Amino acid sequence: MNFYKKWFWPLVMPSLLLFTMVILYPFIMGVVNSFLAWRGTYYFDPDTGTRATSMFNSFVGFDNYKEAFQDTRFISALVYTIKYTFIAVIFVNIVALALALMVTKITKSSGLYRTVFFLPNMLGGLALGFIWQFVFQIIFTDILFSPDALYLPFLRYMTQDSNKALFALAMLSTWQYAGYMMIIYVAGLNNISSDYYEAASIDGSSYWHSFRKITIPMLMPSFTIVFFMTIANSFKLLDQNVALTDGEFGTRLLAMQILRTVKDTTPPNYGKAQAQAVIFFILVSVITLTQVTITKKKELEM
């Protein structure tokens, strides 16, 4: 104990410094810049119409926020992101849980399966996006689901329609994240003592009944973390969106909208992009905190 008391600051300092430098300081500057006419390399003075002599001269109050909310592209990206998150969270969770139930049930080579399911998570988002672009444009459209083969119009040209692209993106993220979330569910499932299932089966409970009454309530801590991660990841999805559709056909998600805001005008309006980023931050925090509070309440105290 004494050791930690004595060495507390020396041990904490490196991480604290790093945190301050790469997270805290940029974050604070970001919030500050969202109230300024920031142009990326200089501050603009709206009164003189030239480069501001100091950053205080470029204060624009809530103008950047007003502009962000008046921007139809921002609003439609927001709506699209909410739709996508809804679909992706359902997809990822069902698949991850199913995989977890499977790999905990089987006895042979379950390690191999876990590794294989986890693998897609090791790839970067851009690479994944391009791989799936090939899958959707060539394999789905021209080979598997073309009129000469298994004709399924819904699965063709998935990147060229904003509604279909929601499912295309969800399929991609399921492929990427399900393995990772599976690991969390596996840990949760392993924590449930087999005594409960034994007792239930003696009382004549069916598999589904046990699943609903034992597995789900006991898994609540895992649901809390998996929901949190999938919601946050879906909201922040960027690379996959850029690589798969580049926002064409009305498929811009929020993160990409923020990224492209600086390309919409010249000189680039970094202040407005920053305001969008702050709104984005608040939104993600509120949604994930609400979710964590709700799911936490459902967790059982053993």
Partner 1 sequence: MKKSLIVLLVVLMAFSATVFAQGGTEADKGYDIYVYNSKGENAAQFAEMCAAYEAETGVRVKNFSIGSGQDHMETLRSEMNSRSMPSIFSIQGMKELAEWSQGGFALDLTTVTTGNFGKMAAAIPQGLRLTSNGKTSYGIPYNVEGYGFIVDRDMLAELFGSANVDAVLADIKAATYGEWETLVKAIDAWIAVPKATSVKLNGKTYSLASSKGTLSGKLTGVFAVMGAEKWTYGDHFINVALNAVFANPVEANEADEAKIKSLKGALLAYAQALDLKTSYLAGAKGKAVRGQDFVSSANYGYDQTVQIFADSKAVFFKQGNWAFGNIEGVNKAQSARLEFVPVKMPYQSQDVKRTDGTTVAQLNSSIPVFVPNYYAVNALVPKAEQQKAFDFLYWMNNSETGKKYIVEKFAFIPYNADPATMSVPNSLGNSIIDYIASGNTLTAPYHGAPASWSGDVVGLRVMESYLTKRNWTQADYEAIADYAIKEWIALK
CB of 258: closest distance to partner 1 in angstroms?
14
CB nearer partner 1, residue 133 or residue 222: 133
CB of 9: closest distance to partner 1 in angstroms?
6
Q: Which residues bind partner 1 (CB under 8 A)?
A: 8-9, 13, 16-17, 20, 39-42, 44, 50-51, 133-134, 137-138, 141, 156-157, 159-160, 248-250, 263-268
CB of 60: closest distance to partner 1 in angstroms?
16
- Helices 162-190 and 72-105, packing angle to 10 deg: 40
CB nearer partner 1, residue 231 or residue 262: 262
Helix (H) or strand (E) holding 15: helix 2-19
Euclidean distance between CA atoms 250 and 59, whole angstroms:
33
CB nearer partner 1, residue 131 or residue 183: 131
Return all residues near 259 (Cβ < 8 A) that are at least 6 apart.
238, 242, 273
- Cα-based distances in Å from 288 to 5, 181, 257, 281, 291: 35, 17, 21, 11, 5
CB of 46: closest distance to partner 1 in angstroms?
12
CB nearer partner 1, residue 59 or residue 196: 59
CB of 45: closest distance to partner 1 in angstroms?
10
- 232 CB-contact burial (10 Å; exposed 0-12 / middle 13-18 / buried 19+): middle
CB of 175: closest distance to partner 1 in angstroms?
19
CB of 122: closest distance to partner 1 in angstroms?
24
CB nearer partner 1, residue 166 or residue 181: 166
CB nearer partner 1, residue 234 or residue 274: 274
Euclidean distance between CA atoms 196 and 68, whole angstroms:
53
Q: CB count, 10 Å around CB of 149?
A: 10
The total number of residues written for the chain in this structure:
302
Euclidean distance between CA atoms 81 and 104, whole angstroms:
33
100 neighbors 158 (Cβ within 8 angstroms):
no
290 neighbors 49 (Cβ within 8 angstroms):
no
Q: CB count, 10 Å around CB of 218?
A: 18
CB nearer partner 1, residue 8 or residue 56: 8
